[in-house]
Structure 1
Amino acid sequence: MLVILASISYVNLMLCSLFQCFVSYLETMGAGGRMSVSPSKKAKLEALQRVPYSKPPFTLGQIKKAIPPHCFQRSVPRSFSYVVYDLTIASIFYYIATTYFHLFPSPFYLAWPLYWALQGCVLTGVWVIAHECGHHAFSDYQWLDDTLGLILHSCLLVPYFSWKYSHRRHHSNTGSLERDEVFVPKQKSGIKWFSNYLNNPLGRLITLTITLTLGWPLYLIFNVSGRPYDRFACHYDPYGPIYSDRERLQIYISDAGILAVCYGLYRLVALKGLAWTSCVYGGPLLVVNGFLVLITYLQHTHPSLPHYDSSEWDWLRGALATVDRDYGILNKVFHNITDTHVAHHLFSTMPHYHAMEATKAIKPILGEYYQFDGTPFYKAMWREAKECIYVEPDEGAQNKGVFWYRNRL
């Protein structure tokens, strides 16, 4: 009974959040798009103000000292409680959809998109927990983290070890134009000829639609938006340039996990049909993939953030070249991966349930080097797609290795 009541409360909160977003959007459009996103125009301008790019006056050790020591402690029971909670809510949504939706009159089949949205959000939270396993932030036991991460990510068609290693390199090279692994911005000379035709509202809508629906599989299969390699790079290829010799066996294990889940889906289609499987599993998976791309994109794409070439880049400045975002109630659903991302990049083995406390502790140390943008994510997505097309150094600047986003083609 308590679980059912909790799930009802959870749904109510999410629906209220979605309704508030919709009302906010209508109010903004009613004002001709001139309303400030934040409570004051000053706050909006501050969110877009460039963060410092010079070497910070503090060290990683000083930042760590500001964080209470218990924030670095990982608890197996507490970590598992989030897994159990998420999977319980997902099971309730599944039970409701498969037990009652077919009883509704045909106009009520609009319930399926609602199920996809809610279930997709919950499963994004499950994906985040598996992501923590990849960072060894779930427990003190590497074997436990890898076992759970492999199971959870495989069920969401993510090659666990393959992504774990490429994501680790992303954390090691954040903000580097040469070595970062994901959402590496292009310089103006690398912009394709057709970009001019997409630099308009319709073109941005098409680009965002493709990015949110196909972006994740395109990245895994073809390394789209990833760093350039001298040959074909694919997360499923054990002998691809992304991985070292000692990592290849685990890439095979990742592939085996994906094949096992694909076989299970094949059997499910044979038993229940393609339509049933698509509604119950495929729809939520599309939502998960869309949020993964959107969250990552907005964490590393912002008009205020610098990127660096090899002449200027260092690890700490790269880790600070990220931004915390506000997703409303979804912050909790996504286990605060959205609004504690700066702390996560500084200390990736810290469990998510301590990240908010750690963020509050480090903000006074970081000062202007900490970036938070409270713009609603659906507005930020559109703004960043418009403003952040390529990067270039400032004209006449002494620091030619510091690059900023531009949008004039």
Structure 2
Amino acid sequence: MGAGGRMPAPVTGGEVQKKNPLERVPYSKPPFTVGDLKKAIPPHCFQRSLIHSFSYVIYDLFIVYLLYHIATSYFHLLPSPYSYLAWPLYWIAQGCVCTGVWVIAHECGHHAFSDYQWLDDTVGLVLHSALLVPYFSWKYSHRRHHSNTGSLERDEVFVPKPKSKMGWYSKYLNNPPGRVLTLGVTLTLGWPLYLAFNVSGRPYDRFACHYDPHGPIYNDRERLQIYISDAGVIAASYVLYRVALAKGLAWLVCVYGVPLLVVNGFLVLITFLQHTHPALPHYDSTEWDWLRGALATVDRDYGILNKVFHNITDTHVAHHLFSTMPHYHAMEATKAIKPILGEYYEFDGTPFYKAMWREAKECLYVEPDESTSGKGVFWYKNKY
């Protein structure tokens, strides 16, 4: 299985990179193994430094506090036209920095923060709870995403549908106003809807919810930690409730609520663009294997936000191959494996806002190509 894909260009030691990012990646089984890729990466890239990891936490939280201090101490002193401009700038900046905090907590869930699992889980639980994320709940569903990336039956998030299973209303949204509506709902409500109702997630035989310890997402060994996740979100919500009583709801919305919407929007956008691209295949059970699934993701360029987001955006291929690697080594690892990956490596430097619109237009459902031998290989299409 897997034979018949477009043959990759031979790798001769130099870096091979497709000139056109929309050209499909090969879908045949790669001529390299995970072991080959690991050997190409300097050994220190797999080492987790507690001090190094905590330095990013401290730095990010310092910037969060600095932005908060400036907003609450000085914005009211600005003349009215400037104060109305200052708050949106604060919301965007604070939301971006808090997205970086979110990424560090995500790294804790992968045991990439330190050599101590209990410490990773403690840091991740605190940081994610502060952002109203059920840490363990998402950790386990996200782990299954990494185990089944690119699988139409078993992947956990942004699982594309075949044309036959698209809703009747889909073709009426395939236009600019429909895309604006779809993207608006996805970026604002997509994350809470996924957590609460498994929207855009894989289908289960019964109702699935990240807050339900006895739901089908989790096994018996994981259920106690789901209760802990729920307790973390409840505790954070109670703190926010007390703050609202003391400072007022409007104050809380301005200082915390709107930046959190920015965090949630970027989280959904980053995940969507990492796994949605015209050049990337998806596989059914007749074709899927872990390595080809892990390679069915794309590195993107978010400009200066790459650093703010701790390079989760432009080193995502390496992250899927070696998820316990700390983010501060991922760029070096990416450069080391690109010559081996050759045409199997997908990078798209299209500005993320343009890519968002293009993917929302071009990537509506998946179907196999009639002209190819890989009937279990599915590609994004948009024609109704």
Q: TM-score, normalised by structure 2?
A: 0.95
- 13, 32, 55: which is aligned to 1:58? 32
Q: Is 1:323 paired with 2:298?
A: yes
Letter in 2 for 1:94: Y
Q: Could you say what secondary structure the match of 1:328 adopts?
A: coil
Letter in 2 for 1:186: K
Q: Runs in 1 of length 4+ with deviation above 2 angstroms?
A: none
- 111, 120, 129: which is aligned to 2:95? 120
Q: Could you say what secondary structure the match of 1:405 adopts?
A: strand
Take 1:105 and 1:328, find their aligned partners in 2: how far apart are those partners?
32
Take 1:246 and 1:330, find their aligned partners in 2: how far apart are those partners?
37
Task: Map Cα deviations across residues 187-232 of structure 1 (whole Å, 9 max, x no partner).
Answer: 0011101111110001001100110000000000000000000110
Mapping of residues 321-400 of structure 1, within 5 Å: 321-400=296-375
Report the counterpart of residue 25 of structure 1 in structure 2: none
Q: CA deviation at 1:105?
A: 2.4
What is the Cα-based RMSD across aligned positions, in Å?
0.9
Mapping of residues 10-409 of structure 1, within 5 Å: 46-108=20-82, 109-409=84-384
Task: Map Cα deviations across residues 27-68 of structure 1 (whole Å, 9 max, x no partner).
Answer: xxxxxxxxxxxxxxxx99610000000000000000000000
Take 2:57 and 2:131, find their aligned partners in 1: how far apart are those partners?
14
Letter in 2 for 1:199: N
Task: Map Cα deviations across residues 275-323 of structure 1 (whole Å, 9 max, x no partner).
Answer: 0000000010000000000000000000000000000000000000000
Task: Map Cα deviations across residues 4-43 of structure 1 (whole Å, 9 max, x no partner).
Answer: xxxxxxxxxxxxxxxxxxxxxxxxxxxxxxxxxxxxxxx9
Take 1:58 and 1:106, find their aligned partners in 2: how far apart are those partners?
61
Task: Map Cα deviations across residues 239-277 of structure 1 (whole Å, 9 max, x no partner).
Answer: 000000110000000000000000001101100000000
Letter in 1 for 2:103: V
Identity of aligned residues (%): 82
Q: CA deviation at 1:107?
A: 1.7
Letter in 1 for 2:40: A
Judged with a 3 Å threshold, the aligned counterparts in structure 2 of structure 1 residues 198 and 45 are, in CA distance, closer, same or farther, namely farther
Structure 2 residues without counterparts, runs of 5 or longer: 1-16
Q: Could you say what secondary structure the match of 1:153 adopts?
A: helix
Q: Could you say what secondary structure the match of 2:379 adopts?
A: strand
Letter in 2 for 1:228: P
Q: Is the 8 A contact 2:49 2:113 kept in 1?
A: yes
Task: Map Cα deviations across residues 63-97 of structure 1 (whole Å, 9 max, x no partner).
Answer: 00000000000000000000000000110000000
Letter in 2 for 1:246: R
Q: Could you say what secondary structure the match of 1:391 adopts?
A: strand
Aligned length: 367
Q: Could you say what secondary structure the match of 1:392 adopts?
A: strand
Take 1:330 and 1:397, find their aligned partners in 2: how far apart are those partners?
39
Q: CA deviation at 1:101?
A: 1.0
Q: Is the 8 A contact 2:18 2:343 kept in 1?
A: no
Q: Is the 8 A contact 2:318 2:334 kept in 1?
A: yes
Structure 1 residues without counterparts, runs of 5 or longer: 1-42
Q: Could you say what secondary structure the match of 2:126 adopts?
A: helix
Higher helix proportion: 1
Q: TM-score, normalised by structure 1?
A: 0.89
Indicate the larger mover: 80-89 or 45-54. Answer: 45-54
Q: CA deviation at 1:327?
A: 0.2
Q: CA deviation at 1:164?
A: 0.1
